[in-house]
A and B are shown apart, each in its own frame.
Chain A
Amino acid sequence: MRLPTYEELANVEEQLEVLEYPLDESLFVVGPPGSGKTVLAVQRAETVSRWETGKSVPIVTYNRLLRRLMQLLNNGGVYPRTMHTFVWEEYRRRTKHPVPTEREDSYAYLWPEMLGRLRRARVVPDRPHLVVDEGQDLPEGFFVYASRHVSRTLTVFADEDQALSRQCTTLEQIKRAANLDNPIILRRNHRNTPEIAAVAEHFHSGRLPAADVTRESNGELPRLIRSRNIDDTAVLISNWRQTMGGAVGIVVHRTQPTGVELHQKLRELLPRSRVNIYQHDERNENSTNILEDGVTVLNKMSVKGQEFDSLFILELERFVPCENQAERRAMYMMCSRARDNLLLVYGPGHLSKKAANALPGPQILERQ
């Protein structure tokens, strides 16, 4: 993930407003992918922790890889946790009791029961600040809990449009539950080139308008590439990485078996470079250094919140045509992970007519 120059933000009033926001006030920020939420979240937590010297500021998110990214971005003082880890640790610390959950699902918390116990035990907020990223993925109950019993000052970042889990919370619910003011709305996309944003927007269907792109064109249209086999794909990616450098992301539908096979081949082709695979079930995010240049293979769920200089979406035939809103949102989210170059790869067979029609036209997506 790239940090901004001042020049890039100098004319982006709402970004500056978030950065300039007084540290002792709660803040609610809503923005589309690429508007810099994760970086702003880490920056705010770090700045608060330096101001409140010695106190670490928790930063809570839904996804483990995102938590890892935050850990890598921050220089100390920030305490990145997934929501589940945070709630379990924090609730036990304050009540000496385990979190009450549904019998079959230890992730389904019984919020009313939890809030009742905390209220009866008169647990008052004792943390200077709490920062939440990807707030739309956290349950409503969490925000009530956080504002009443964790910290009086909350900073919440959210984006309704890319919610993946079914249990998503709307912006209105977050605002009400956490007792926040109206959000500052980030409208600019700082990540994608206009060319990439155009492909992503083709799949856009949210309530908020798609973000304005601030980056300049690099003159490179995203490309649709047919690959005969996995060896061809591996050579293409390896040439790309050797020439352009930077962080290359490869999204596969499922890491087994394509991702694993490709990972093996790329390791052979790129002996000098970092080549990692991220597998959700293996919980191996700690051995993946996403910020280092190199190649990362991951699936649709894990790519969320990440950013790559070049992104290859493989097995395109499994992602398009989109059957429903959730699938469209997923395509939108995936495409908008790419900073400079986006390459959509399918094959060996042809795309179905329906799939081909679901893609943007050749003036937006170059056919190769």
Chain B
Amino acid sequence: MTNRSGQQPLFSGKSGRERDSRRDLARHKYGWLGLNTNHRRVFAALEDGWLRPLPTNAGLLLGVGAYAPEHWDEGRHPISVRLKFDVRKLPSMEVLALRDESWMPCSPKDVGPTDTSALYWPGAIPTFAVSSLEVATAEERARLSGMARLFTNVELPVPVTVGIPEPTDLCVSTPPTKAGVGLAIPHDADAIRGALSMATWAVPRIDPWLDLLVASLSSDQEQLAISATKVEAQWWRFPPWITPCTDKPSEELQDCLWRAAVDVFRDQSERRSNCPAKLAEKIAAAGTHYGCSDVEIADWRRQTNEILRAKSTIRLDVWRDCPVGMAIQLVLTRPEPTRFKKWSQDIPNLPPTVWWSAAALCGLKHGYRKLDVSFRGQAPLQEALSVHALRTSAADLRQLRWPFLSGDPSWRREANGFVLLWGDKEIVHKTHRARGQWYAADYRKKEVVRQAKTVSKRMKWECLHRKIKLPSGRLPISGSGDVSRSGSEIHVDGDVWLQLPPYINIEETLDVESFRHHVVVAAGRLPVPPITPATGVEVQQLNIPGLAYVPNFLSKAEETEVVAEIDQNEWSKELRRRVQHYGWHYGYKARQVDSTMRLGPIPKWAERIAQRLFEQNLVSQLPDQVIVNEYIRDQGISKHVDAESSFADDIAMISLLESWEMVFRNQRGHGRRKKILRMERRSATIIANEARYQWSHEIPKRKSEPAVISKNTRQKRPRIPRERRLSLTFRKVKSEHHKTLGQS
């Protein structure tokens, strides 16, 4: 028996049972490809994003609706893992399929319903296509998951299942001819994917920066140049993931340093040598090659060396002199992404341009393979960046079509933040930060303008115009100088004294465009702008200074996840209502914490929320204590003031599961004023200053809550019976409580 190419068929044996299972599969629209391999192969693939062929092969043999065995034994205690790949996640490319006992070219999407038993995949296969991981026993599952939890750069794409494989005697060998274009992963792809991941993770959440990110992901050079200029980061005309088509020298120091750093960090051989001082030297040398002056670059190198020797520290006040130089210093001193990330806490007022440029360089230098899973993002983002890294690093793979990812990247604003899209597919959601909110704020509102002025003054931004309106008539003038008007200016020559009537005031107006531009580029840590909630009570109407309210602070999915985490943990029955404490224990009797009450770091789910509160500038310090309060039906908390001295000024409360009201009462001043805030489910309420110390708050003990207020009705508001509300209180324990016993 011979196939078309005149070769011996390579297929041997086919059981009746296998035929049946194939018929079953034919009923499904999409098929799956299966591989039975060793767990070490699985880990190597997951850290990399690609399951590569064995060193001896050019491709992978996959079963269609069955698991093709890969004979690869490693280790004394191997675990056989059966992987399923979803064909919808694979590119449309020519592969070889075993049909009617001979190998024929076909497209992976056609394999399901046809009479195909095996498929030869030329090259590497993406791990994002993995739709199932199966092992034989619970002990193996425990070992496999236990190892995955240990490795910082590995995350199992799906939970491991335990199952007994159907016995198949699928036994095929490599096809004789090489299949069409192979999916060979270029060397650069790992560095590029590292840069893409870190850049997406760190992108400043302000409109012009998102425009720049999107432009840098598309290949529109013109748009890229416009966006880069708008944020005063011209060097971003050369994103780290695009090989510049021009070698044209530039005299601009920033361009040269940037291109030099990209070259050095992208170079595989350089990534092996980690010595920061030597890398600085190489970057300086490459920078001179790109055309900038030796003097300027020598100055940067000297400064960098002093920092690397701990003789001086990175100086934020001079960042404008050399933003790229500073970005490179941030990477050289902390090349490991997990440590690099801490710059945002250690220098909280880093300008967006330095932060983002540095993060992209850090990712480029570190690469994707070693990258901690916390920077990798969720599945849709990983899929998009994986494909994009491949496209940008290999010219011959640019034309490859991935049916699940078409169109161009874009972004759009949504209620609680931004979403990044590829075509019409949402690939990542990000919540608002203070700068993005300031950028989009409504400057017709008086309160917004008032606070923007305060911010400008505090930050010493030059976006306030001081004006006086001169009254009609005559004004006394003295001094030896002369005044003349020409067009829209007056010229003053010499000393001129103008005597103004007493009622004349200097008016301060905000140059909104200039202010928004500062929001985009300037250094500094901004407070959140006055927030207008989308639903519920208008907090501004409440007019309690120090009270902030953010509806939809958590998404629905996050709420579900957090509640599940909480319910897995043990409740303390110290009080009538159930509570959980994280980070520090709180003594209800003594109403304080002390150093013996440290419980350890707060769990990951809580840390993510704490981080978000801090990043959105809702709290001034990263919270390290969380109390979970559970309120069932008519439970409440009586009127109190959170006056304990153990905690920092601001306290954040997250409401989960139900929307209940909180009553605020003014403790000082005349007439005990009472105000009501409806704390929507998934919202955040922050109390500081007056809201915390001058106002008491309480959750009334009652059986039901009023439904959402609709303005136009005079009917009695319907009430909804209470069931269960969880409240998470985030606080920061003051640092003196970290003091150890030996010190107190």
By a beta-carbon cutoff of 8 Å, the part of chain A in contact with chain B is 2-7, 9-10, 13, 16-17, 19-24, 39, 43-44, 46-48, 50-51, 71-72, 75, 216-220, 236, 239-240, 242-246, 255, 260, 263-264, 271-274, 276-279, 282-284, 286-289, 291-293, 309
Contacts of A286 on B, CB cut-off 8 Å? Answer: 596, 598
Give the residue name and chain of the A residue nearest to B583 (CB): A289
A-B contact pairs, 28 of them (CB 8 A): A6-B44, A6-B46, A6-B47, A6-B153, A7-B47, A17-B76, A17-B77, A19-B143, A19-B147, A20-B147, A22-B77, A24-B139, A51-B139, A51-B143, A216-B272, A216-B274, A218-B275, A219-B278, A243-B333, A244-B310, A246-B334, A260-B742, A264-B743, A276-B738, A278-B740, A287-B740, A289-B598, A291-B601
Interface pair B139/A22, CB less than 8 Å apart: yes
Contacts of A4 on B, CB cut-off 8 Å? Answer: 150-152
Interface pair A276/B139, CB less than 8 Å apart: no
Quick check: is B7 within 8 A (CB to CB) of the other chain? no
Interface pair A284/B741, CB less than 8 Å apart: yes
User: Given known contacts A20-B143, A47-B146, A293-B342, is B313 in contact with A239 (CB within 8 Å)?
Assistant: yes
Interface pair B40/A245, CB less than 8 Å apart: no
Quick check: is B201 within 8 A (CB to CB) of the other chain? no
Interface pair A242/B339, CB less than 8 Å apart: no
Give the dominant DSSP class at B's interface: helix
**CB-CB contacts below 8 Å: B688-744 with A:** 735, 738, 740-743
Interface pair B742/A19, CB less than 8 Å apart: no
Quick check: is B43 within 8 A (CB to CB) of the other chain? yes
Contacts of B139 on A, CB cut-off 8 Å? Answer: 22-24, 51
Quick check: is B346 within 8 A (CB to CB) of the other chain? yes
Interface pair B741/A71, CB less than 8 Å apart: no
Other contacts beyond A243-B313, A279-B741, A292-B601: 7, CB < 8 A: A3-B151, A5-B47, A5-B152, A219-B276, A244-B310, A276-B738, A282-B742
Contacts of A2 on B, CB cut-off 8 Å? Answer: 152
| B216 → chain A closest CB, angstroms | 28
Quick check: is B119 within 8 A (CB to CB) of the other chain? no
Question: How big is the B interface, by class?
Answer: 35 or more
| B309 → chain A closest CB, angstroms | 8
| A100 → chain B closest CB, angstroms | 31
Interface pair B75/A277, CB less than 8 Å apart: no
Contacts of B742 on A, CB cut-off 8 Å? Answer: 255, 260, 277, 279, 282, 284
User: Given known contacts A21-B77, A43-B150, is B595 in contact with A287 (CB within 8 Å)?
Assistant: yes
Which of A6, A39, A75, A288 has most chain B Cβ within 10 Å? Answer: A6
Residue of A44, A217, A274 touching B275 (CB-CB under 8 A): A217
**CB-CB contacts below 8 Å: B335-350 with A:** 339, 342-343, 345-346
User: Given known contacts A217-B275, A219-B273, is B601 in contact with A239 (CB within 8 Å)?
Assistant: no
Scan B543-582; emit 1 where CB is below 8 A from any A CB, else 0.
Answer: 0000000000000000000000000000000000000000
- Bound together, the chains give a CA A223 to CA B178 distance in angstroms of 56
| B72 → chain A closest CB, angstroms | 14
Interface pair B339/A246, CB less than 8 Å apart: yes
| A334 → chain B closest CB, angstroms | 21
Interface pair A72/B601, CB less than 8 Å apart: yes
User: Given known contacts A260-B743, A287-B595, is B600 in contact with A71 (CB within 8 Å)?
Assistant: yes
Interface pair A244/B334, CB less than 8 Å apart: yes
Quick check: is B314 within 8 A (CB to CB) of the other chain? yes
Contacts of B370 on A, CB cut-off 8 Å? Answer: 5, 7
Contacts of B145 on A, CB cut-off 8 Å? Answer: 47, 50
Interface pair B333/A287, CB less than 8 Å apart: no
Which 4 pairs, one residue from A and one from B, show the smallest C-beta to C-beta distance?
A: A219-B275, A47-B146, A51-B142, A287-B595
Interface pair A239/B342, CB less than 8 Å apart: no
Interface pair A5/B272, CB less than 8 Å apart: no
Give the residue name and chain of the B residue nearest to A263 (CB): B743
Quick check: is B79 within 8 A (CB to CB) of the other chain? yes
Interface pair A219/B601, CB less than 8 Å apart: no
Contacts of B343 on A, CB cut-off 8 Å? Answer: 245
| B353 → chain A closest CB, angstroms | 21
**CB-CB contacts below 8 Å: B23-61 with A:** 39-40, 43-44, 46-47
Contacts of A272 on B, CB cut-off 8 Å? Answer: 345-346
Quick check: is B627 within 8 A (CB to CB) of the other chain? no
| A341 → chain B closest CB, angstroms | 9
- Bound together, the chains give a CA A2 to CA B601 distance in angstroms of 16
Give the residue name and chain of the A residue nearest to B275 (CB): A219
Contacts of B77 on A, CB cut-off 8 Å? Answer: 17, 20-22
| B339 → chain A closest CB, angstroms | 5
Give the residue name and chain of the A residue nearest to B346 (CB): A245
